[in-house]
């Protein structure tokens, strides 16, 4: 695909070669993310970071990625601080904000809302999550992480065995990741969820049509025995009509060190898009895994910076100018000690 000026809305817009191009550019962003070098390539550019639903890492990661390329960030967080509460349409909001920004990132609780917004925007729009639908940049950073974790063991993404665990019905990260995995060969997917929270049938069908082997289970321990990646997800409480309805499923698929040791292969990589629900009645990914070297959750968040920098560089067409506008950092850098 031609990335220049493109919206990034759905995994469906990518071919495998596009994904590999993003990953290749992400690799080149590492000296900047690690603060070995500073680039000013986006000096003067403005990111409109529009989050109308709770977020910590996606919002700050998009903003930090843009800052690391030399650009500036303007933010709106929540409906209450925007004119949407006065009845302004997403389309009018897009027409206005695209006059102020060079690129816009947006999260919104309604499925399809970011695409609606993008249809009226004069600048590229990136989907930071639209309801239960998609979270494409999360899937890209997840697959980039999988590639790096497997690459360290001499493996490739082709042939991956992955378990996806938890609320697969509402979890937009697993929707996008499943679609992304459909671009790769010989993928084996184990879907572990309560029956009511199963991955939507159309996504399962898409993976099977692409040649993936998909197995479905509602039991954790014996289903994580033969996988390279155990990808846990949170019960998406905000998608249920009441907390009580979500509580029925909370804590059903806890993964802790004892279960890992007993049931997983020794080097199974543990992933989660975060936030993990660490409340005692959920504790879906126990803190006793924090010293496990195969816990990749904070490598995922670090890699998210690289992926989002790569997307900005591609969409704003500065990939080959990033190094030209760079210099070494002058300040104390704890990452390099
Ligand atoms: N993974 C993710 O989307 O996290 P936030 O909700 O904190 O952005």
Is the CB–ligand 1 distance for residue 233 below 6 Å? no
Mean pLDDT of 159-186: 97
The Å distance, Cα 103 to ligand 1 centre, comes to: 20
Q: Which of 193, 216, 194, 196 shows the shortest CA–CA distance to 204?
A: 216
pLDDT attached to residue 337: 60
Mean pLDDT of 152-174: 97
The Å distance, Cα 324 to ligand 1 centre, comes to: 32
Mean pLDDT of 117-144: 98
Is the CB–ligand 1 distance for residue 119 below 6 Å? no
Query: Which atom of ligand 1 sits closest to the CA of residue 56?
Result: 7
Q: How many CB atoms lie under 10 A from the CB of residue 185?
A: 13
The Å distance, Cα 57 to ligand 1 centre, comes to: 5
Contact 173, 180 (CB under 8 A): no
Dihedral (CA of 4, 67, 22, 7) sign: negative
Is the CB–ligand 1 distance for residue 304 below 6 Å? no
Dihedral (CA of 155, 293, 303, 327) sign: negative
The Å distance, Cα 273 to ligand 1 centre, comes to: 7
Q: CATH 3.40.50.1370 region(s) of the chain?
A: 11-134+301-330, 136-298
Is the CB–ligand 1 distance for residue 61 below 6 Å? no
Q: Measuring from atom 5 of ligand 1, which residue has the nearest CA?
A: 55
Mean pLDDT of 262-285: 93
Residue 239 to residues 110, 143, 179, 235, 291, Cα–Cα distance (Å): 10, 25, 21, 9, 32
Is the CB–ligand 1 distance for residue 58 below 6 Å? yes
**Best residue among 49, 53, 54, 55 to mutate for probing ligand 1, ranked by most atoms within 8 Å of CB:** 55
pLDDT attached to residue 97: 95
Q: Which of 49, 134, 131, 52 shows the shortest CA–CA distance to 90?
A: 52
Which numeric CATH code is attached to 136-298?
3.40.50.1370
What tokens appear for 269 in the block? 């990589």
Residue 151 to residues 157, 160, 284, Cα–Cα distance (Å): 8, 11, 27
Determine if the pTM surpasses 0.85. yes
Percent composition of the chain: helix, strand, coil (DSSP 3-state, to 5): 40, 15, 40
The Å distance, Cα 128 to ligand 1 centre, comes to: 9
Mean pLDDT of 279-288: 89
pLDDT attached to residue 336: 67
**Best residue among 65, 138, 171 to mutate for probing ligand 1, ranked by most atoms within 8 Å of CB:** 138
Pairing of strands 37-39, 326-328: antiparallel
Q: What are phi and psi of 328, to 5 degrees?
A: -75, 155
What tokens appear for 186 in the block? 């010989």
Mean pLDDT of the chain: 96
Residue 327 to residues 37, 40, 261, Cα–Cα distance (Å): 6, 9, 46
Mean pLDDT of 105-133: 97
Is the CB–ligand 1 distance for residue 63 below 6 Å? no
pLDDT attached to residue 90: 94
Query: Which atom of ligand 1 sits closest to the CA of residue 273?
Result: 1
Q: What is the pLDDT of residues 75-115, one digit of tens each?
A: 987 888 889 999 999 999 999 999 999 999 999 999 999 99
Contacts of 35 (CB under 8 A, 6+ apart): 329, 331, 333, 335, 336
Calculate ∠ Cα 68-70-76, nearest 5°. 80
Mean pLDDT of 245-263: 93
Q: What is the pLDDT of residues 27-60, one digit of tens each?
A: 999 999 999 999 999 999 999 999 999 999 999 9
Give the side-chain half-sphere CA count within 13 A for 27. 8
Give catalytic residue positions: 57-58, 86, 107, 135
**Best residue among 105, 176, 273, 297 to mutate for probing ligand 1, ranked by most atoms within 8 Å of CB:** 273
**Best residue among 139, 239, 274 to mutate for probing ligand 1, ranked by most atoms within 8 Å of CB:** 274
Four-way CATH pick for 11-134+301-330: 3.30.870.10, 3.30.2350.10, 3.30.420.10, 3.40.50.1370: 3.40.50.1370
Is the CB–ligand 1 distance for residue 141 below 6 Å? no
Q: Where are the beta strands (DSSP E) in 166-278?
A: 188-192, 213-217, 229-232, 269-271
Contacts of 47 (CB under 8 A, 6+ apart): 62, 63, 66, 71, 72, 73, 74, 101, 102, 103, 104, 105, 312
Q: Measuring from atom 3 of ligand 1, which residue has the nearest CA?
A: 58
């Amino acid at each position: 695909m031609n990335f220049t000026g493109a919206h990034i809305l759905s995994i469906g817009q990518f071919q495998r070669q596009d994904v590999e191009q993003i990953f290749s550019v992400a690799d080149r962003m590492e000296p900047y993310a690690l603060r070995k070098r500073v680039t000013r390539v986006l000096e003067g550019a403005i990111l409109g970071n529009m989050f109308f639903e709770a977020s910590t890492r996606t919002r700050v990661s998009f903003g930090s990625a843009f800052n690391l390329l030399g650009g500036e960030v303007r933010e709106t967080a929540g409906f209450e601080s925007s004119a949407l509460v006065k009845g302004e349409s997403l389309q009018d909001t897009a027409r206005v904000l695209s006059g102020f920004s060079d690129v816009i990132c947006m999260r919104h609780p309604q499925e399809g809302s970011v695409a609606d917004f993008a249809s009226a925007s004069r600048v590229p729009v990136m989907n930071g999550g639209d309801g239960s639908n998609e979270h494409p940049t999360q899937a890209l950073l997840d697959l980039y992480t999988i590639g790096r974790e497997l690459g360290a063991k001499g493996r490739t993404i082709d042939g991956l065995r992955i378990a996806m665990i938890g609320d697969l019905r509402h979890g937009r990260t697993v929707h996008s990741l499943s679609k992304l995995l459909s671009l790769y060969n010989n993928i084996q997917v184990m879907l572990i969820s309560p029956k009511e929270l199963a991955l939507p049938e159309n996504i399962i069908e898409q993976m099977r049509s692409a040649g993936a082997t998909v197995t479905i289970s509602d039991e954790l321990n014996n289903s994580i025995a033969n996988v390279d990646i155990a990808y846990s997800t949170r019960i998406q409480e905000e998608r249920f009509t009441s907390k009580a309805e979500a509580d029925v499923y909370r804590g059903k698929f806890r993964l802790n060190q004892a279960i890992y040791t007993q049931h997983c292969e020794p080097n199974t990589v543990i992933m989660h898009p975060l936030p993990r629900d660490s409340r005692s009645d959920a504790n879906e990914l126990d803190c006793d895994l924090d010293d496990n070297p195969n816990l990749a959750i904070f490598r995922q968040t670090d890699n998210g910076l690289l992926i989002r920098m790569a997307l900005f560089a591609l969409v704003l067409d500065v990939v080959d100018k990033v190094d030209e506008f760079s210099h070494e950092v002058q300040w104390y850098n704890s990452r390099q000690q």
